[in-house]
Amino acid sequence: MSAATTPSSRPTVTEREARQVAEAAREQDWRKPSFAKELFLGRFRLDLIHPHPLPADDDVQRGEEFLAKLRDFCETKIDGSVIERDARIPDQVITGLKELGAFGMKIDTKYGGLGLTQVYYNKALALVGSANPAIGALLSAHQSIGVPQPLKMFGTQEQKDAFLPRCARTDISAFLLTEPDVGSDPARLATTAVPDGDEYVLDGVKLWTTNGVVADLLVVMARVPKSEGHKGGITAFVVEAASDGVTVENRNAFMGLRGLENGVTRFHQVRVPAANRIGPEGAGLKIALTTLNTGRLSLPAMCVGAGKWCLKIAREWSAVREQWGKPVALHEAVGSKISFIAATTFALEAVLDLSSQMADEDRNDIRIEAALAKLYGSEMACLMADELVQIRGGRGFETAASLEARGERAVPAEQILRDLRINRIFEGSTEIMHLLIAREAVDAHLSVAGDLIDPDKTLADKAKAGAQAGAFYAKWLPKLVAGPGQLPRSYADFHPSGHPDLAAHLRYVERAARKLARSTFYAMSRWQGRMETKQGFLGRIVDIGAELFAMSAACVRAEHLRATDDHGREAYQLADAFCRQARIRVEELFGRLWTNTDDLDHKVVKGVLGGAYEWLEQGIVDPSGDGPWIADATPGASQRENVHRPIP
């Protein structure tokens, strides 16, 4: 059968095979130190993040000059209400961003880009995302996960020369991995790329292709069949969006980010030059995951911007709105919400700036830090936006257009809540991030003891693993008993005269890190091979680590600002407030490690799926219709109009 007629079929895989595919795509080695990895192992390596790393002067100058231009553009050329009303970013706005160089922020200057650092790229996203989050998503999808980043890391010189100048100034790119029936389980990827001479022939359907409706270039993940001379496997390609056989079949609409150009893209007999393959065959997933190590930092950047806006509105509104004779901000029930927003925004910016600067310096492995920043930022930003809506009361639930129509300030509080909600799903849902981070957090344990719980290993392998594990734990476990966190004078630099005692919080982090490591070890000893099924437990372990990372970053940032005389006193107050709030959450999470309803929940779920509680659903009507739960994605020629709309 020729390449032109080879059918595409969805692979049938077992749960174990799916895990093996994901495991093979992981970066296996830790060549550089990682603060977060050490934290999960019970080792509080403050030296890896303190003193706070700083950008070079020329990077700062270049970044600040661009931010000034971008701010002027946002204030004079972007009307977020128009984007919300029309559910589309005006072409002239996109064209203006191209002329400004915003599509080439992360691209090297030799290819026509701006060559900004990760720190200033994130500051730019926070700024433009505050004008309208859909624009932030447009720019982020283009250069955090679209064509520029994979080519920067894995592309050939010829590919960089051919595509990066286009991405820097004229072309928009998109990343295509998800399929109608494939999300975070890429082992079942059905889109194929069949070799045919010096080309590949692509067939398949991709869902939720952010930027796909307006894109000029696509990064497409497709499965290459194994054959003579071809290793096969999931592989990455750069595809021209205007190629014959590429059809954007639908522009999707969502509860938020209404200007998002997100679609369904079908490939039918699309010919792609072999020269457009990124990396070797079978390396696609590893390329995607490695790209996301820093690409994920774009989402918390926009979450930081949202937090800053929530704080501004909460401050201004709560000072004006009076209840029972005084501003609502001075009522404890409202004031606690404002304190939460202020302290959390400070901590999120601390996490983002620290992670971004470490990414720029490239002296630490930040795969866990970036994942924690994405997880924590997306969750906390939603909470802050929800609190803002509550502070605003009925006005928080009312649309900006309605407020303006009746003569009040057009504050889009309900919109920011809708817009932020997707961040808990984008680029790895919270649940998937829990599992991904947990896998990295227990990597050291699996490296020495993994064979003990692997049913496929021989007795000889298990015996060898047992000896290795014994040696590792004989050295590691005693170190979890005591540490600097128990010494009253530890981290004394973080308790300058006249300031809150942040040293006490760092001592808490050190003690909690050891407790976290002990809890993980106990769980592995208790559940062994069943550990991977304890997703509730693993999620709480990760959430504790996220809080401890955020506390550490907040303290380090506060001390940096104090040392540079840049709002140091106020920074110490915010860091103290955040750490006290975080410690309450950490203690609750530690308690829920062992006291929870996980087993009972599992029984209830089985009852729900088995129909035992269908009687509970009586008394309603279901407005959702009778269509299929998952759209048909059978390969073949498109039967729908192409809604691809490249921006001239």
How many whole angstroms separate alpha carbon 256 and alpha carbon 352?
A: 24
Residue 291, classed as helix, strand or coil, is helix
Q: How far is CA 76 from CA 131, 370, 409, in A?
A: 11, 33, 19
The enclosing H or E element of 199 equals strand 199-210
Ordered DSSP codes for 4-64:
TT----PPP--HHHHHHHHHHHS-----S--HHHHHHTT---GGGT-SPP---HHHHHHHH
Strands (DSSP E) found in 230-357: 233-240, 246-251, 262-273, 277-278, 322-323, 326-327
How many whole angstroms separate alpha carbon 260 and alpha carbon 538?
A: 33
Q: What angle, rounded to 10 degrees, do the helices at 430-441 and 535-563 form?
A: 80
Active-site hit among 261, 387, 427, 510: 427
Is residue 96 exposed (0-12), middle (13-18) or buried (19+ Cβ within 10 Å)?
A: middle
Ordered DSSP codes for 210-253:
ETTTT-SEEEEEEEEPPBTTB--EEEEEEEETTSTTEEEEEE--
- Ramachandran quadrant class, 196 (left: phi over 0; alpha: psi -120 to 50; beta: rest): beta
Peptide bond into 478 cis (omega under 30): no
For residue 581, how many other CB atoms are within 10 A of its CB? 18
How many whole angstroms separate alpha carbon 92 and alpha carbon 332?
A: 46
The enclosing H or E element of 206 equals strand 199-210
How many whole angstroms separate alpha carbon 155 and alpha carbon 111?
A: 14
For residue 20, how many other CB atoms are within 10 A of its CB? 13
Residue 633 · residue 204 · CB < 8 Å:
yes
Which has the closest alpha carbon to 276: 241, 236, 242, 247? 236
Which has the closest alpha carbon to 246: 221, 212, 280? 212
| 553 DSSP β-pair partners | none
How many whole angstroms separate alpha carbon 288 and alpha carbon 306?
A: 27
Q: Assess whether 427 carries a catalytic annotation.
A: yes
Amino acid at the residue 537: F
- Ramachandran quadrant class, 232 (left: phi over 0; alpha: psi -120 to 50; beta: rest): left
Q: Active-site positions? A: 427
